[in-house]
Amino acid sequence: MSRDETDLFRALFEASVDAQLVVDDRGVVRRANASCERLFGYAPSELEGQPIEVLVPERFGRHRHHRAAFAAAPRARPMGTGVELFARRKDGSEVPIDISLTPLAFGESRLVAVTVRDLRTRPFAGEALRVQATALRSAANGVVITDRTGTITWVNPAACAITGYGVDELVGKHTRTLKSGRHPPEFYAELWRTVLSGETWSGTIVNRRKDGTTYHEEQTIAPVVGVDGAVTHFIAIKQDVTARHAAESALAKTREDLAMRVAEIEMLNAQLREQAIRDPLTGLYNRRYFHETIERDLCAASATEESTAILAVDVDHFKRVNDTHGHAVGDQVLVALGGVIERCVAAPGLACRFGGEEFVIVLPGTGAGAARARAEELRVAFATTAVHAAAGALYSTISIGVSAMRAGEESIDAALARADHALYDAKRAGRDRVVVAHGAPRGATPPSMFPPRTG
């Protein structure tokens, strides 16, 4: 290159309105033009021989790492990459900049031409900032910007409306000013762990307004990462969802109340069902339940070809008990008999009070012999059961008629009639005994089961 060409390039270097630097592969400034003084406050002679990090803000602590990576694989970097950059001036202040990097090779030397442009003087940049600032100020959601430590540096009017604090009351304060005490330390520890790692956090926080009232706030906290990869600021977008939370809580309470009412109704229905199928005095099933379920039980027995036993039970001399001791004592006798039957007849057996002193027991899968043995156990157990009357302990006896049937061979009414005739035989034979019916019923079937007896 001729001397004239060298002088020409030197003149272009010095005349550039952008700050021009030549940096070697160790990061040391070799040359600086006059524009550097306007931008950085350093005279060219002050910069030459200094490490380039003298112009890098301290918060970009990984700059040396990035510079070493560039030196290992140098490539041209144009301006306008969209990364927000800042330079540190001699007085410590920062200015927004953009840079371009151009690798140079002079023999064995590896240099980088650095062009630094002052973004403060770009008209469209100021216009863009004004548009962005207007958008943030006008946003319906609250916007809060903090530094890395959580100290608030900027808020919009919506954030002030949500919290009840003025701008001057929030800026410079830590975000803990809004803490309600409703969250455990672990909640905030996880939040900070997330955002300091460069990840966005979203969730609902219960905060406290200036007037002391609490409110539910949906937040999205996004970290701002500098060119060196370090988190520098946080931007929180806030929405007051107190009214929605209250509505959701009220709806949940309504649903809970409704579920409780439904459960109460179901319980009452179950109670009504029990009352409809239970004898109110003894607690055994009643005649209605017997007729509702007997066909089903007989169908099940038919499928297994098992016998079903029918026991007709009647209290001996029950009219005499009522006439002598009163109906209250008579009720005690019936309750005592119901208790004995319930203890002696286990599932799948069925015990029912048909009315008065008359009871019917169904024993699925039971033949005549086994049914007679069960009936004898029942008779003996009741004979030794006392009720308390005015004259002292009162003992009563029962008579039992037994019939055995196979489903499909005989109707339930016929089997009941045979058990009833066997019960008549027990009464005629002196009571307090069990009689098993054999063969077809004798005489006409009674018009109603268990017709009136003399006891």
pLDDT for position 129: 58
CATH architecture of the domain 3-121 equals: 2-Layer Sandwich (3.30)
How far from each other are the two terminal CA atoms of the chain, in whole angstroms? 142
d(CA 381, CA 329): 19
Residue with tokens 């301006």: 79
The residue ranges of every structural domain in the chain are 3-121, 124-240, 285-436
Pairing type for strands 152-155 and 201-208 reads unpaired
In order of 9, 37, 67, 116, the CA distances from 32 in angstroms are: 14, 9, 18, 11
256-272 pLDDT tens trace: 999 999 999 999 888 88
285-436 classified as CATH 3.30.70.270: yes
Tens of pLDDT along the chain (455 residues)?
566 666 777 888 888 889 999 999 899 999 999 999 999 999 999 999 999 999 998 877 778 888 888 888 888 888 766 566 889 999 988 888 889 999 988 777 889 999 999 887 665 555 655 666 677 777 889 999 999 999 998 899 999 999 999 988 998 899 999 999 999 999 999 999 999 998 999 999 999 999 999 999 999 999 988 766 788 899 999 999 999 988 988 999 999 999 999 999 999 888 888 888 999 999 999 998 998 888 776 766 555 667 889 999 999 999 999 999 999 999 999 999 999 999 998 878 899 999 899 999 999 889 999 999 999 999 999 999 999 988 889 999 999 999 998 766 788 889 999 999 999 999 999 999 999 998 644 444 444 455 545 56
18-31 pLDDT tens trace: 999 999 989 999 99
CATH fold match for the domains 3-121 and 285-436: no
Pairing type for strands 29-32 and 19-24 reads antiparallel
Using the CB atoms, write b or e for 333-361: b if 16+ within 10 Å.
bbebbbbbbeebbeeebbbbbbeebbbbb
pLDDT for position 390: 86
Side chain identity at 351, as an amino acid letter?
A: A
Looking at the domain covering 124-240, what would its CATH class be? alpha beta
